[in-house]
Chains A and B, each alone.
Chain A
């Protein structure tokens, strides 16, 4: 693992490159796209293990923190989805430069899937495949969940009678301990899951059919056409639950992610 910083001085990002075995020829580059806030913290271990397995399988893997998150520069309130898309493109170019790969996979979970799907519309050179795991189906419901969890974490009564669906201007300044700017809140509110148009990029969507969002994601995927590959796998992980310290690396999904990213 090689930690490094990249990007311009006013937008320095933290990244870790997990290179392929020394003797191996360039094969596939995989950029892992983080989730947001509490979900990203919960997924950190999973991404670490996934990067190890993919690199042992011959891939070059890049993990990075978006601006205003993790170890990257920027305040929490500087975070925004469009900027994160720009960061993903920069990470993509950085991996191509470092590893010499010509074929790149973007793998994102939760809001990382939303960032990847949006940024893929620009069809950067070399992007061959998207893997979207448990994407956000509807940003309004996601914000309601974050709001509920924030209240639970602070042992406050559950918010009653307020919802991002029925109040267009509703705003929360914190999402399970992570400050949320009005701008990011509005961007998340507008999220609706859709498989990006095909172009040269094939899309694999992995979702839990038993989750609240599973059926909707599967439906959107089936409407997208032949370039969208849906895989339904029950893993039961609740990424937002502060109390649940188990299942940090859900085994049913790990092998699937490695296989879909092309390391097997």
Chain B
């Protein structure tokens, strides 16, 4: 049964621990996406936690310091350092209460970045699934985006676009400009050599890394092979999984996207847990 928990210094971190239906040594950490509290966008983390529990995988969803219900940190650590410290505190808490574990982490956007940083810092992390985490644009990103956009157009919308272009007028029902929450995020991606070195080290020690991308920001990621094209020849490339799903969106607002993400996380996690059980047997 799910249990509300408070842990860490002064019980400042607030979350919900979901023990597995059967004894397990795998626990999934489900963490904040942006400013959304631990339940995740559209309660996605709750749905994932319950799906994993049925597959004998425990989970802890919780708020990082200063997010959701967790208190702001008293330390002077940077945001990124604090996130890693909070996540390690969470792992310590789970192990103290439920025995030694290997951890897998699911994170969206900034949560994906935190998952990666945790894997770099702590060898207890066996897997990370990053939804819209790091990306590297290639010379094919824009042509593929334009091609996909063209392919999705109906004859009527092509006609209307041409007519607008010819009359040089703005459409009467033009969409309001989108708020581009990714506008500055290119600079957050580590330099290519640094990221390659980190990924090679992580996969050398057996980390299971799944780079999952939504179809929300084709300007940044328009095809699944971007990672392969950017890091061609690096040892980590054949060891990681990278998928782009145009039919899921960044915050899983469609019910279809929610079901698909839950299934992807569930299948990924159960494969890791199954491999561990097989190795132990």
Q: A interface vs B, CB < 8 Å? A: 1-5, 9, 12, 14-16, 41, 44-45, 48, 69-71, 73, 76, 150, 153-154, 173-174, 176-179, 242-243, 245, 248
Give Cα distance in the complex from A12 to B18, angstroms.
Answer: 13
| A14, B43: Cα distance in complex, Å | 14
Inter-chain contact B252/A177, CB cutoff 8 Å? yes
One of B1-9, B73-81, B197-205, B270-278 contacting the partner: B1-9
Closest residue of A by beta carbon distance from B45: A71
Distance (whole angstroms) from the CB of B94 to the closest CB of chain A: 16
**Nearest residue in A to B5 (C-beta to C-beta)?**
A3
Please give, as numbers and ranges, the residues of chain B lying within 8 Å of A154 by CB-CB distance.
Answer: 249, 253-254
Contact B35 A178 (CB under 8 A): no
A177 to B178, CA, bound (A): 19
B66-98 residues at the A interface, CB under 8 angstroms: 68-69, 71
Report the minimum CB–CB distance from B246 to chain A (whole Å). Answer: 12
Nearest 3 interchain pairs by C-beta? A177-B42, A3-B4, A177-B253
How far does the Cβ of B31 sit from chain A's closest Cβ, in whole Å? Answer: 15
Chain A: minimal CB distance from B156 (Å): 12
Q: Give the residue name and chain of the B residue nearest to A150 (CB).
A: B253
Residues on the B chain within 8 Å of A73, using CB: 2
- Docked complex Cα distance between A73 and B14 (Å): 17
Identify the interface centre among A5, A9, A71, A243: most chain B CB within 10 Å of its CB: A71
Can you spell out 18 A-B residue pairs with CB atoms less than 8 angstroms apart?
A3-B4, A3-B16, A4-B4, A5-B2, A16-B4, A41-B39, A44-B68, A71-B39, A153-B249, A153-B253, A154-B249, A154-B253, A154-B254, A173-B255, A176-B253, A177-B41, A177-B258, A242-B253
Query: Which among A14, A41, A44 is the interface contact of B16 at CB below 8 angstroms?
Result: A14
Chain B interface residues toward A at CB < 8 A = 1-6, 14-16, 35-39, 41-43, 46, 61, 68-69, 71, 178-179, 249, 251-255, 258
Main DSSP-derived SS at the A contact region: mixed
CB neighbours (8 Å) of B3 from chain A are 5
Residues in A neighbouring B68, C-beta threshold 8 A = 44, 48
B251 close to A71 (CB less than 8 A): no
Asked whether B254 lies within 8 Å of A177 as measured between CB atoms, the reply is yes
Chain B residues near A174: list those with CB within 8 A.
Answer: 254-255
- A245 interface neighbour in B4, B6, B35, B178, Cβ under 8 Å: B35
Besides A9-B1, A71-B46, 13 other A-B contacts (C-beta < 8 A): A1-B6, A3-B4, A15-B4, A16-B4, A41-B37, A44-B37, A71-B16, A154-B254, A177-B255, A178-B42, A178-B43, A242-B251, A242-B253
Contacting A12 at CB < 8 Å: which of B2, B6, B35, B41?
B2
Kindly state the separation between the CA atoms of A243 and B16 in the bound complex, as whole angstroms.
28
Complex contact A177–B251 (CB within 8 A): yes
Q: How far is the CB of B277 from chain A (nearest CB, A)?
A: 28
Do A45 and B6 touch across chains, with their CB atoms under 8 A apart?
no
Contact between A3 and B258, CB atoms less than 8 A apart: no
Q: State in angstroms the CA–CA spacing of A45 and B37 once bound together.
A: 8
Cα(A45)–Cα(B69), bound, Å: 8
**Which single residue of chain A is at the shortest CB-CB distance from B179?**
A243
- The CA of A173 and the CA of B255, in the complex, are separated in Å by 9
Task: Check A71 against B4 for contact (C-beta < 8 Å).
Answer: yes
Smallest CB separation, A152 vs chain B (Å) = 9
B69 x A70 contact (CB < 8 A): no
Task: Give the complex CA separation of A258 and B258 in angstroms.
Answer: 37
Closest Cβ neighbor of B38 among chain A residues: A71
Report A-chain residues with C-beta under 8 Å of the C-beta of B2. Answer: 5, 12, 14, 71, 73
Of all chain B residues, the one with the shortest Cβ separation from A63 is B69
> What's the nearest-Cβ distance from chain A to residue B69, in Å?
6
A70 touches B39 (CB 8 A): yes
Please tell me if the beta carbons of B4 and A41 are within 8 angstroms of each other in the complex.
Answer: no
**Bound Cα distance from A173 to B256, whole angstroms:** 12
Contact of B35 among A4, A14, A45 (CB under 8 A): A45
The complex places the Cα of A177 from the Cα of B251 at a distance, in Å, of 9
In the complex, A9 Cα to B2 Cα: how many Å?
11
* Chain B contacts for A177, CB-based, 8 A: 41-42, 251-255, 258
> B69 touching A3 by the CB < 8 A rule?
yes
Q: Report the nearest A residue to B249, measured CB to CB.
A: A154
